[in-house]
Structure 1
Amino acid sequence: MSRILLLLDDCRERDRLGHLLGASYQLLVSPDGGLEVPFDLCVLDGPTLARLAARLQARKAAAQPHFLPCLLVATPQDRALARAHLGQVVDELIFSPVEPLELEARVESLLHRRHLSTELERRVAERTAQLQESETRNRIIANLISDYAYIFQVLPDGTLRGEWVTESFTNTFGLTLEEVTARGGWQSLVLPEDLPIAREHARKVAGGQSDVCEMRWMTADGQVRWLRDYAQPVFDDSGQRVIRIFGASQDITERKHLEAQLLQAQRMESIGRLAGGVAHDFNNLLSVIILRAELALNRMPAHHPLSEDLFKILDTARLSADIVRQLLTFARQQPNAPQVLNLNEAVEAHLHMLGRLIGEQIELRWHPGQDLWPVRVDPAQIHQILSNLCLNARDAIVGDGRIVIETSNVVIDDAYCRWHPDAVPGEYVLLMVADNGMGMTPDILSRIFEPFFTTKEIGKGTGLGLATVYGIVKQYDGFIHVYSEPGQGSTFKIYLPRYRGDTLVEVRAEADVPQGNGEVILVVEDEPAVLDVVRALLEDLGYVVLAAGRPSEALKLAEDPNTHIDLLLSDMVMPEMGGPELAERLQALHPGLTVLFMSGYTSSLHGAPVRASDAKFPFLQKPFTIQTMAEAVHRALHPKGA
């Protein structure tokens, strides 16, 4: 039974209408204007409309999309009010005194409209739900099926004839089925290197066996696409002969591209770990050579006949240390001294040097970007990047040529990162170095950042230049992309993260070799040769040295209540425990103990990089000289220059 809400100020009129409608409808009488109760039709008079118009309009709006009708019982004086609200609040009006038959007709008409509105809305909602369900189902199916689908006819002689292919194939490959047939069939699209695999795949399916195959196809404009093809034979009524092949091909080009990049990244990471380990061992050996040579020079009289030989040993050891530093840079284990700088200013400071480096036959062009963002980089490493890239560009140019250096601000988005897994979305400063030299083949391009890989003649290069560039860029959470083709030159694009922090303050090192004053230094080093020479040098500088070859020995010395220690000088990576853990345990025994670490590389035992600038304690990089060790020890013991 429909519910009618009577909202009339006139009690006699309300009772009269209630009498006329009460037999057929459920009546809701609310003279105080309560609109919260559910109703199907509202009957009201002029005074109620004037008082409740806004609330009724809100009630009708809240009921949308359902139709909630209102019938106004009006007097001649209500005409202006009725016109103002007709269509918004009032749906129909009837003049008082109300005729019973007219009232019944108006009420039935409005309730019928409400019923039709409700039924229509129900059907629309039901149909919408069905369409949504169908759309969801079709979307799931579309996501599950492959990128291209096809049907081949298998002729009696075993030849395959294309019968049908999805439109997506034509959109990607730029060829219709008829055009593929005119070219000589599907085999004309397969890369020659993959034809044996593709033919074996087709032979198996035509012989009645389902098969899966990965192969490369060529589009009409020369692009290569990787396809993973799933093919199913369809037999004739006798079940003896294959008459059709139903197949679906998944385009895996992007996946193959990402897999290749991932393998290359893993390969570079493995080489980096190996390079870091080798550099660590060499740094220990070089430390002994350099320190022993310096110690001998300090202890022998001036103009000794062996002095010249010792100086040559030092020069050779320092050249070896430079090579080790390049290995550590590639492995991202070389300490740096980053500063906030403008890359334009850093490049301009080296232009004159680069011009002399590449020679007069090669033109050097410089295109600085406008309003360049700051970066946080070691200026010396910018010099390394520019020198190595320009040297490689010079060697790639035959005769006259051109090298272009350019900078700009760039924003890397998610779309770019999908094709370059080593990239991270964000704001970067781009440093580009391009040349018009001989270019590189894909095989060479895939190996250019490997340490010691070079295409130059023996004696013309170490193969560490580009490896050093790669390590520097990775050290600052940047990335590098190279574009090159034979005969088309090469372009190196280096992306360094935009820096948003405060400007760094450079700290100048002391110039003189500081001496000790009887301070007690506990030296912990698992390499005996390094331990012996460091102890000898520290004693020459005036320190008292307690030497330990293992962390357990150091702890045993420190546990003696009569032992006083001013400084712990410890290797970073040792058996039993690492330097940081040893330092924490020793500081528990000797609160306030000063710590100085030394190491041939700056990776933790777990492979996470530890940079000198980020370390909790001061850090001394091997190999070091007497000068650098003396300064580091003095700064650790006297941080304010005391």
Structure 2
Amino acid sequence: MTAIFARRNLRSLLRTALIVAAYLCAFIILDLISRQFEELRGIVAWYPPAGLTYALLLVFGARFTPAVTIASLIGSVFIYHMPQPAHLLFLWALITSSIYGVAAAFLRHRIRFDWQLRKLRDVTWLVVTAVFVSALLAVLSVLSSALSSDMPRNEVLRAIFIWWIGETVGVLTITPFLLIHVMPRLKRSAEGRPVRSPARRSFPRPTLSVIGQAFSIAFMFYWVFGARGLGEFRPMYLITLPLIWIALDYGFKGVTTGIVVLNFGVMLAMWFFRFDLAPLGELQLLMIVNCIVGLLMGAVVTERKRAENALRESEERYRTLIQNVGEGIGFVDPEEQFAFANAAAEDIFGVPPGGLLGRSLREFTSPEQFGMIRQQSDRRQAGEKSVYEIEISRPKGEKRNLLITAVPQFDGQGKTLGTFGVFRDITDRVHAEADKEAMQGQLRQSQKMEAIGTLAGGVAHDFNNLLTGILGNIALMRSSLPPTDPLLENLNGAETAARQAADLTKGLLTFGRSAMVLPVPMKIAAALEASLKLLKQSLPATMEIVRDDDQEAWTVLLDQSQMTQILLNLAVNARDAMVGKGMLTIRTRNEVVREEYVQNHPFARAGEYVHLSIRDTGPGIPPAILEHLFEPFHTTKPSGSGTGLGLSVVYGAVKQAGGWITAVSTEGVGTTFDIYLPRCLEEPMQSFTPSPLSANVCSGTVLVVEDEPVVCEVTQALLSRSGYTVLTATDGASALNVLRDQPQGIGLILLDMTMPGMTTDETVKAIRVLDPTVPILLNSGYTSNGAVKQMLDEGSVQDFVGKPYDLPSLMEVVQRLIRRG
């Protein structure tokens, strides 16, 4: 590693030595040239070595000050043969190099000077420091010479002026040229970086401009210095005109070369004519004018061209960005016509490239939409930014939703030039939000139906207990009256009303999915056939029923009463809608519901379903009513013509069967109800018609466990009237006590499912501990279908009967279970 560093240091020292050697050689050569223009002892009209020195120190810094001191000493001793003692010459060389070194350090470190002169400020600082340093050296040198020699006092000011202008011209002629054309390559070489290969042509191509500039320089020199017949009139400053031309064409880089050419030309003319053309001061002023005018104009032109190029590149980048950005961007004039549009905007509006230019937004929007656009335009006239949404129609008729952000543009007088607009296609977002809103609406509807169902089930439970007492007491009264008693007619009316009330509560329980059903595997076609036998009795002959059954329709798990409720309520609704005349189409198909459907219907589930479709040809349902279609007690029929429970019962029955129902209606065409029932893989039952029930009465002991006194009393009376010994209990704990106190055993336990204290499951398990074989008959006006089914499947209970009791059915079940026990 040390060897590597040593080699690097050696190469660096070698490069520095070569630069110093090159500097000394160039300094001596330029010093010899400047000696040809010596005006006074050691004072020349033009001193280019100063420009070489200043360029070296500006680029490489103060570490080259010793080399400058040596070069200055060599020039004083061997070229100008100055008569001063050696120590004074050395002191003067040291002072000269130090002043230039301080000036260079000041520019490099305090001003942050860019030695490549890229900006006007850098050129200005170079001119200012050159003038100041040259003036300081001129004063110090001439005054020291005047004090140590016999220089006449009247020559001091002239000597200071000649030194000052000559040194300034030397710096401003040579330093910029070296900094632009030589020092960049020299700097890279000194730092050990690869030097770029020079361009094949170091100078501008011989275009008409270059040829014209060269000719103009030659012509001006001839006219000013060589033409005869001008007398004493010498328009010397015309020489500066070609320099202005060069600055305008080639900027700062070209003008540095032009200054060297012009000032060398002036000095050659002055040397050739031996200073007879004009006073030396005028020639020096001509050269300094060339320097200052050329450098400043070249810097201004270059900076302007650089700014123009930067602006052009920025505009190109901006144009590239605008053309390739994903958002549509355009500019419309005050009449809303496109003056510019990028490719994304053209794609959004569905037009070919250039197809938006000159076209108005009116062509893509409805009159209402364009009116809203004009309102937004009026807001922008007041200087406001506007953000709004519109719907457009593409040329092929496709609708798209756009979000527009519009920013007004004004001229210097505040007049509206137009509007920059950003067009964002939000069609997918709008559709997604609409779908989301629809799904949320469906979810809210589902939650609302769930809450109403829970409420309906609770009401039905209490109501069924009351109906059980009413119907039971009616049955007791009827059994105590002779067949010809006129009171029987009143009892029949009361029973009919109670039965209608029982149907109403059954509908509420079905809606709340709390009615007890015992589903079995069945073919959908067979279930429809069994229900249609009852349905046809409720429909007029003018109403046509069309069947479109899929003979391969899958099996479903269903209670026949559920299918009857579904079909009967939908058919009665269709009958009322069609005023007794029309067509009712019942269609079944197998269908696989996929995830795409579920995403848009949150109540659905993927899987295999039997799709039951029931369509009528009625007047249709308005959208406002369709939203509340399945809500209980929501009806459009006249008062007294309906309960408002028909469709809510259908909704509950379908949900209880594990499916879902939707309605689609077109006013003037009809309504279609689509019901999806899950496929059952079990083999279907062969019969769905219950067998006739016997009404025989047998003896035995029945324990009635019921917390409602009315229900308990009427049940006890009915069973006692039929010949049974009846014991009662009000909850599970008391039932267990009764069971323990009966050594002869109990033939049947009639157990209510909703009692205080012990739960049904806890009571059943405790009973089985005391008596594993006693039959248990569950009863309830409101219960969980799943809980009953689970206990029936486990065999812990033997059967279920719902409230209010149907007396013959109750007697048949009690008799059957006691006999089995």
- The TM-score by the shorter chain falls in which range? 0.5 to 0.7
2:641 is aligned with 1:472 = no
- 1:495 is aligned, of 666, 669, 676, to 676
Q: What CA distance in whole angstroms lies between the structure 2 residues aligned with 1:412 and 1:516? A: 53
- 2:522 is aligned, of 325, 341, 354, to 341
Q: What CA distance in whole angstroms lies between the structure 1 residues aligned with 2:441 and 2:399? A: 15
Given that 1:234 and 1:243 are in contact with CA atoms closer than 8 Å, whether structure 2 keeps it comes out as yes
2:361 is aligned with 1:181 = yes
Normalising to structure 1: TM-score of the pair?
Answer: 0.62
Correspondence for 1:419: 600
Correspondence for 1:619: 800
2:475 is aligned with 1:294 = yes
Q: What CA distance in whole angstroms lies between the structure 2 residues aligned with 1:294 and 1:208? A: 82
Counting only pairs closer than 5 Å after superposition, residues 139-150 of structure 1 correspond to structure 2 as none
TM-aligned CA deviation for residue 255 of structure 1: 1.6
Given that 1:232 and 1:247 are in contact with CA atoms closer than 8 Å, whether structure 2 keeps it comes out as no
Given that 1:548 and 1:554 are in contact with CA atoms closer than 8 Å, whether structure 2 keeps it comes out as yes
2:738 is aligned with 1:574 = no
Correspondence for 1:550: 731
Structure number with larger C-alpha Rg? 2
2:449 is aligned with 1:268 = yes
Q: CA RMSD in A?
A: 4.6
Correspondence for 1:515: 697
Given that 1:451 and 1:467 are in contact with CA atoms closer than 8 Å, whether structure 2 keeps it comes out as yes
1:325-371 per-residue CA deviation (whole Å, 9 max, x = no partner) reads 12222222222344443333444556676566443444433222242
Correspondence for 1:253: 434
2:588 is aligned with 1:588 = no
What secondary structure sits across from 1:459 in the alignment?
Answer: coil
**Percentage of identical aligned residues:** 36
> CA, structure 1 residues 540+357, in 2 after alignment: closer, same or farther (shift >3 Å)?
closer
- 5+ residue gaps, structure 1, are 1-147, 237-241
Q: What CA distance in whole angstroms lies between the structure 2 residues aligned with 1:235 and 1:525? A: 85
1:276-330 per-residue CA deviation (whole Å, 9 max, x = no partner) reads 1111111111100001111122233443342222222112111211122122222
- 2:508 is aligned, of 308, 324, 327, to 327
> CA, structure 1 residues 555+526, in 2 after alignment: closer, same or farther (shift >3 Å)?
same
Counting only pairs closer than 5 Å after superposition, residues 88-107 of structure 1 correspond to structure 2 as none
Q: What CA distance in whole angstroms lies between the structure 2 residues aligned with 1:286 and 1:277? A: 15
Correspondence for 1:634: 815
- Higher RCO, 1 vs 2 (CA within 8 Å, ≥6 residues apart): 1
Q: What CA distance in whole angstroms lies between the structure 1 residues aligned with 2:327 and 2:707? A: 65
Q: What CA distance in whole angstroms lies between the structure 2 residues aligned with 1:392 and 1:425? A: 30
TM-aligned CA deviation for residue 598 of structure 1: 0.7
Correspondence for 2:624: 443
Given that 1:397 and 1:438 are in contact with CA atoms closer than 8 Å, whether structure 2 keeps it comes out as yes
Q: What CA distance in whole angstroms lies between the structure 1 residues aligned with 2:347 and 2:754? A: 58
Q: What CA distance in whole angstroms lies between the structure 1 residues aligned with 2:745 and 2:609? A: 51
Q: What CA distance in whole angstroms lies between the structure 1 residues aligned with 2:363 and 2:756? A: 68
> CA, structure 1 residues 375+399, in 2 after alignment: closer, same or farther (shift >3 Å)?
closer
2:664 is aligned with 1:483 = yes
> CA, structure 1 residues 364+596, in 2 after alignment: closer, same or farther (shift >3 Å)?
closer
- 1:388 is aligned, of 569, 590, 607, to 569
Q: What CA distance in whole angstroms lies between the structure 1 residues aligned with 2:700 and 2:533? A: 50
2:603 is aligned with what amino acid? D
Q: What CA distance in whole angstroms lies between the structure 1 residues aligned with 2:458 and 2:338? A: 58
Higher share in strand? 1
Given that 2:345 and 2:423 are in contact with CA atoms closer than 8 Å, whether structure 1 keeps it comes out as no
Correspondence for 2:638: 457
> CA, structure 1 residues 351+634, in 2 after alignment: closer, same or farther (shift >3 Å)?
closer
Given that 1:225 and 1:253 are in contact with CA atoms closer than 8 Å, whether structure 2 keeps it comes out as no
Q: What CA distance in whole angstroms lies between the structure 2 residues aligned with 1:376 and 1:558? A: 38
> CA, structure 1 residues 310+254, in 2 after alignment: closer, same or farther (shift >3 Å)?
same
What secondary structure sits across from 2:586 in the alignment?
Answer: strand
1:214-253 per-residue CA deviation (whole Å, 9 max, x = no partner) reads x9968779999999x79899999xxxxx987797853423
Q: What CA distance in whole angstroms lies between the structure 2 residues aligned with 1:487 and 1:225? A: 30
Q: What CA distance in whole angstroms lies between the structure 2 residues aligned with 1:387 and 1:428? A: 22
Correspondence for 1:598: 779
> CA, structure 1 residues 344+544, in 2 after alignment: closer, same or farther (shift >3 Å)?
closer
- 2:498 is aligned, of 287, 309, 317, to 317
> CA, structure 1 residues 502+405, in 2 after alignment: closer, same or farther (shift >3 Å)?
closer
2:590 is aligned with 1:429 = no
- 2:555 is aligned, of 341, 358, 374, to 374
2:515 is aligned with what amino acid? Q
Given that 1:449 and 1:467 are in contact with CA atoms closer than 8 Å, whether structure 2 keeps it comes out as yes
1:182 is aligned with what amino acid? R
Given that 1:401 and 1:437 are in contact with CA atoms closer than 8 Å, whether structure 2 keeps it comes out as yes
TM-aligned CA deviation for residue 624 of structure 1: 0.6
Normalising to structure 2: TM-score of the pair?
Answer: 0.50
Given that 2:520 and 2:685 are in contact with CA atoms closer than 8 Å, whether structure 1 keeps it comes out as yes
What secondary structure sits across from 1:638 in the alignment?
Answer: helix
Q: What CA distance in whole angstroms lies between the structure 2 residues aligned with 1:513 and 1:352? A: 26
- 2:721 is aligned, of 533, 540, 549, to 540
Aligned residue pairs, count: 474
What secondary structure sits across from 2:439 in the alignment?
Answer: helix
Correspondence for 1:103: none
TM-aligned CA deviation for residue 398 of structure 1: 5.9
Q: What CA distance in whole angstroms lies between the structure 1 residues aligned with 2:505 and 2:366? A: 55
What secondary structure sits across from 1:452 in the alignment?
Answer: coil
Q: What CA distance in whole angstroms lies between the structure 2 residues aligned with 1:344 and 1:595? A: 35
TM-aligned CA deviation for residue 462 of structure 1: 1.9
Q: What CA distance in whole angstroms lies between the structure 1 residues aligned with 2:613 and 2:447? A: 25
Given that 1:452 and 1:464 are in contact with CA atoms closer than 8 Å, whether structure 2 keeps it comes out as yes
Q: What CA distance in whole angstroms lies between the structure 2 residues aligned with 1:222 and 1:287? A: 66
What secondary structure sits across from 1:466 in the alignment?
Answer: helix
Correspondence for 2:303: none
Q: What CA distance in whole angstroms lies between the structure 2 residues aligned with 1:347 and 1:245? A: 60
> CA, structure 1 residues 160+288, in 2 after alignment: closer, same or farther (shift >3 Å)?
farther
> CA, structure 1 residues 559+401, in 2 after alignment: closer, same or farther (shift >3 Å)?
closer
What secondary structure sits across from 2:674 in the alignment?
Answer: strand
Q: What CA distance in whole angstroms lies between the structure 2 residues aligned with 1:527 and 1:628? A: 21
Q: What CA distance in whole angstroms lies between the structure 2 residues aligned with 1:224 and 1:334? A: 49
